[in-house]
Amino acid sequence: MNLQARNAGGDSNVVAGVGYVDADDVTVQGLQTAGAATVSSPGTIRVDTDVAAGSLTIRSTAADIALAAGRTLTTDGAGTPLVLDAARRFVNDGATLVPGTGRWVIYSADPALDQFGGLASGQTALWGSTSASLAPEAAPAGNRYVFGVPRTLAFSSVDATKIYGDDSATLVSSSWLVTGLETDTFGGAFLPDDPATAYSGTPMVTSTGSLGTAAVAGSPYRIDIAPGTLSAGPGFALTFDSAGNLTVAPRPIDVVADDVSKQYGEADPPLTYVPSGLVNGDALNGALTRDPGETVLGSPYRITQGTLTDASNPNYLITFTEGYFTVVPSSVTPDNRALELALIQARQEWFAPACVQPQTVSLPGVFAVEQERLDRAASSLRTSPRPICRASLL
């Protein structure tokens, strides 16, 4: 049906079931009044002509509100004089709203179903509300779209990584994100959701892996998220998902092997090292080793990492610097019988004719022997009629 209403000064109220509008769809044409006008129907209400009123409320209690292209809806009241309340869809084919010194508020079910026709509010949308739960006058300032569909803000923890030994409570507390804020403005009909109005406060985000003593072997550790001080804004619901994990990575350290030496024939001393970067009072597991060899001529021998490895120390990433193991000549006393026996045993190898210059003779072992010791040894060799040269035995 078509509805035509003119009132020179009084209010114009058109309510379904009161004699003007039934349950059918309604077309509004030529509505002009200086007072308050209300058009209400359970069917779709379409505005095909310009409308002017002191204040105007158009309400479809079960269907849509549609505005024809090129039409203007004008009010001259203050506050919230222009209200369009669609139970389902708001369809604007290109009409203009002029609320005088006040503002307009438009209700619908879901922006994804609507057609905005370039009508921009310049404000964020309001969610999860209807005219029954949020009266037009109670809406925040400015032109507003109000949608019945609620917004759910999902707060989730996110993955993070720390180094063993670090206290990462601060890192973990910021390891979260929120999704569900509306970023689609539907062609600029409204502004993207503002976190400042969608929620207030911060979630509580924790993990047992935050402690400096949390081991690499227990990694990853779950990052838990809870409401904390969060509070949802009007029309928003909050959910929480502890989806993030905290990975503890090995701590880089340096290990430098000490240079070590021994005298020939002695047992090896301990192979030691200097670590830098250990935390939590830790000591390293494992031991160094060296290349095989026992002679002076073969030394120095490399001191290597042995079992002092990352595998034996999973909390650490070791950078190893090798050392050197040196075998030095033995120190022998003049009455050392072992030397004399060695000289006798090796006599045929180094017993030489009378010589003028000192000679170098190889014997088992490493000795520095002076002439008087050689003389004494030679005098015990009854079969030797020849003098022994002064020698350095290596």
- How far is the C-alpha of 74 from the C-alpha of 220, rounded, in Å? 62
- In one-letter notation, the amino acid at residue 282 is D
- Please report, to the nearest 10 degrees, the dihedral formed by the alpha carbons of residues 371, 377, 379, 382 taken in order: -140
Q: What is the largest CA-CA distance in the chain?
A: 156
Tell me the pLDDT tens digit for each residue of 54-64: 999 999 999 99
Least confident residue range of 30-44, 170-184, 242-256, 333-347: 333-347
Most confident of 237-246, 342-351, 360-369: 237-246
pLDDT for residue 206: 98
pLDDT for residue 25: 84
> Is 112 a residue whose pLDDT tops 50?
yes
Higher-confidence position of 358 and 33: 33
Tell me the pLDDT tens digit for each residue of 147-167: 999 999 999 999 999 999 999
Which H/E stretch holds residue 57? Answer: strand 55-60
List the structure tokens of 263: 């005298």
Tell me the pLDDT tens digit for each residue of 273-294: 999 999 999 999 999 999 999 9
| Average confidence (pLDDT) over 346-372 | 45
pLDDT for residue 11: 46
List the structure tokens of 129: 């509300």
Tell me the pLDDT tens digit for each residue of 303-344: 999 999 999 999 999 999 999 999 999 875 545 555 555 555
| Average confidence (pLDDT) over 255-278 | 97
Higher-confidence position of 138 and 361: 138
The Cα-based distances of 183 to 46, 124, 150, 193 in angstroms read: 30, 10, 15, 6
- How far is the C-alpha of 297 from the C-alpha of 266, rounded, in Å? 16
- How far is the C-alpha of 368 from the C-alpha of 360, rounded, in Å? 11
> Is residue 135 helix, strand or coil?
coil
Q: Which residues of 355-375 are buried (b: 16+ CB within 10 A; e: fewer)?
A: eeeeeebebebbbebeeebbe
- How far is the C-alpha of 165 from the C-alpha of 213, rounded, in Å? 6
Share of the chain above pLDDT 90, in %: 75
Which alpha helices (DSSP H) does 80-231 contain, by range?
169-173, 195-198
Q: Do residues 251 and 316 make contact, with C-beta atoms less than 8 angstroms apart?
A: yes
pLDDT for residue 18: 29
- How far is the C-alpha of 32 from the C-alpha of 217, rounded, in Å? 78
- How far is the C-alpha of 368 from the C-alpha of 133, rounded, in Å? 107
Tell me the pLDDT tens digit for each residue of 50-101: 999 999 999 999 999 999 999 999 999 899 999 999 999 999 999 999 999 9
Mean pLDDT of the chain: 85
Q: How many CB atoms lie within 10 A of CB 9?
A: 8
Tell me the pLDDT tens digit for each residue of 2-11: 444 433 344 4
DSSP string, 294-317: --TTTPPEEEE-TT-STTT-TTEE
> Is 365 a residue whose pLDDT tops 60?
no
- How far is the C-alpha of 218 from the C-alpha of 196, rounded, in Å? 38
